Each structure stands twice: as structure tokens, then as C-alpha cells.
């Protein structure tokens, strides 16, 4: 048996095209472009690349990109002041502060300062609470992208056993909430989990967000399971995921790295931005359809 390789790149291209159509509709209805502000503090090479590609994708989707690149020694007060200005700016529908921030800035202070209704990253505790209680908010982009791929491959997931490996606020925890909302039976595994291979063996769906190259092994996989690999690990052999690619011999479907979850993250950021713009301006949008 050889797994279907889930083409996240192609799926993300479709999502971006749908966002582009909605962005054009939004322009016509509101008389302005939807706008995303991205803030980068310091010159971290990986973050700089992410910010550049987010800006490019935003413009390509027909939305306005406002990039704010600040020096590494920017004070927390100055960053708070910028967030306040963006919160008050009517042309800004989404605000994203690229993480990690320099160590002299408390990320929690910045994340909680963003207006929850412009928090297109979905990291504000208000949005985490909305997700946990089934209210409308913003879902973090990476787990949202994983969910879209899972729905595409599995359709109705009701009653399936899902194991999420990793319990971070940006991936593991929101992923678990999304799968609960799909009526899966969800187990969240982490660094203290006992006998992880046995836990993973019961799973119809595995989402790995650990940050260790090739961590999940083929003999942990239930035949036919769907595997979503969130991991991005830079190795001498290039970019690899958290799931050993040999798992494809056992799994039913699996995302590759690169070309799986990664492209979905930016596409979901664009999606959240057009959703925010439509909500803020009262422009009707079928959110479930994009």
C-alpha cells in the first residue's frame, strides 16, 4: 500500500484564488481594498522571508499590504503604540506581529494588545476562547489549513480517533479544538506522554507538530491512517517534516514536506483577512465556502 500524497500546494493555490475572487467582490462593495498589516521586529532571516512572502501573497490576492519593519532594539512601549495605531486604522482589517519577538519584549503583552476582531493569526486569548466555545472568531492559520486538508481527504470525520502530537498554543491546542468540533475522539500527546507509539497506533488521523525531523515512525501507524505533518525541520538533507516519509507505505494519505501544510498557512492568513474585512464592513460572505 502506498499513501495518497496530499498536495497542499495545489489546494492552497485554489484557496488563494477563492480569496482573490472575494477580495475583488469586497473592493466593489466597500470601495476599498481589504488590508493586512504585518509587523516584523529585528532582522531574523527566516522571519524576514516569511514577512516578505506574506506581503507578496497579500498583494497577489488583490488586498493591500502594510509592512512595518522595526529595528531589533524597538522598545515594548513603541511596539504597543504601533499596535494601537493599527487597531485604530480603518484601512487595516488584519494585524499580524511576526513571532518570535526579541527577548526584551513580552509576546503576551503584544498578542493581547491586538484588537481580537483584527487578530487574523488567531493568537489572542479571546479568539482561543471563541474557538474553544464554538463562537465566531479567528482560528490560527496553520491548524485551520490542516483542517481544510483533512476535510478534503476524509470528508466527515465524525467518530474517528485523532491524535495530535504537540500542545503549543499556535498549533497543537487549536488543532485539538478543531478536531473536537468535527466530532473526532481527540488525544493530545506531548513530551510527557507515555508510550507514544501505542497512542499513535489507535489513530485514524495523526497531526504531528513536534519540531523533530522524522520523529513519527512507520510502525506507529495504523494502516490507512491520514497523516498531517506540520513539522518544518532544517537538516543537511534539506527541509524535512516530523513524520518519517517511509510512513507513506502504511498510511492511506499523507502530507509531504515541503508542499503540504506550509503553503496552507499563508493561504489561510489571506482567508482570515478577507473574512475580517467583510465582517468589519458588513459585506456578506459565505465563510464556510472559502
98 is catalytic: yes
Site string for ligand NAD, 12-31 (x = CB under 6 A): --------------------
Any contact of residue 233 with ligand NAD (CB under 6 A)? yes
- Contact segment (CB under 6 A) with ligand NAD among 148-156, 190-198, 219-227, 280-288 equals 190-198
Q: Closest distance between ligand NAD and the C-beta of residue 6, in Å?
A: 13
Report the candidate in 14, 18, 34, 37 with the shortest Cα–Cα distance to residue 26. Answer: 34
Q: Closest distance between ligand NAD and the C-beta of residue 172, in Å?
A: 5
Applying CB under 6 A, among 27, 30, 187, 193 the residue interacting with ligand NAD is: 193
DSSP 73-120: T--HHHHHHHHHHHHH-TT--EEEEPSSPPTTS-HHHHHHHS-GGG-T
Site string for ligand NAD, 255-284 (x = CB under 6 A): ------xx--x-------------------
Please, are residues 179 and 172 in contact by the beta-carbon 8 Å criterion?
no
For the chain, give the number of residues: 290
Residue labelled with grid coordinates 488590508: 35
Q: β-strands 253-254, 4-5: how paired?
A: parallel
3-state secondary structure (DSSP) of residue 34: coil
Q: Using CB atoms, what's the residue nearest to ligand NAD?
A: 168
What is the binding site for ligand NAD (CB under 6 A)?
A: 142, 165-168, 170-172, 189-191, 193, 196, 209-211, 230-233, 261-262, 265
Amino acid at each position: 500500500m502506498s499513501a495518497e500524497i496530499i498536495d497542499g500546494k495545489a489546494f492552497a493555490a485554489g484557496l488563494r484564488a477563492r480569496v482573490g475572487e472575494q477580495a475583488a467582490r469586497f473592493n466593489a462593495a466597500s470601495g476599498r481594498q481589504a488590508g493586512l498589516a504585518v509587523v516584523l521586529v529585528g532582522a531574523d532571516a527566516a522571519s524576514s522571508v516569511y514577512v516578505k512572502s506574506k506581503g507578496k501573497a497579500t498583494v497577489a490576492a488583490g488586498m493591500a499590504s502594510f509592512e512595518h519593519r522595526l529595528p531589533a532594539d524597538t522598545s515594548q512601549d513603541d511596539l504597543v503604540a504601533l499596535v494601537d495605531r493599527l487597531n485604530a486604522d480603518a484601512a487595516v482589517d488584519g494585524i499580524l506581529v511576526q513571532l518570535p519577538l526579541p527577548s526584551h519584549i513580552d509576546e503576551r503583552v503584544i498578542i493581547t494588545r491586538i484588537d481580537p476582531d483584527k487578530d487574523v493569526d488567531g493568537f489572542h486569548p479571546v479568539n482561543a476562547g471563541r474557538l474553544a466555545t464554538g463562537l465566531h472568531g479567528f482560528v490560527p492559520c496553520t491548524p485551520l489549513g490542516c483542517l481544510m486538508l483533512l476535510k478534503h481527504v476524509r470528508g466527515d470525520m465524525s467518530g474517528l480517533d485523532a491524535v495530535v502530537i504537540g500542545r503549543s498554543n499556535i498549533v497543537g491546542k487549536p488543532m485539538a479544538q478543531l478536531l473536537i468540533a468535527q466530532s473526532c475522539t481527540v488525544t493530545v500527546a506531548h513530551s510527557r506522554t507515555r508510550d507514544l507509539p501505542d497512542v499513535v497506533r489507535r489513530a485514524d488521523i495523526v497531526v504531528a507538530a513536534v519540531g523533530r525531523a522524522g520523529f513519527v515512525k512507520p510502525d506507529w501507524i495504523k494502516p490507512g491512517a491520514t497523516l498531517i505533518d506540520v513539522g518544518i525541520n532544517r537538516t543537511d538533507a534539506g527541509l524535512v517534516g516530523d513524520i518519517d516519509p517511509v510512513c507513506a507505505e502504511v498510511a492511506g494519505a499523507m502530507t509531504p514536506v515541503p508542499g503540504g501544510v506550509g503553503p496552507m498557512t499563508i493561504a489561510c492568513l489571506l482567508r482570515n483577512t478577507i473574512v475580517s474585512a467583510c465582517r468589519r464592513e458588513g459585506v456578506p460572505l459565505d465563510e464556510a465556502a472559502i
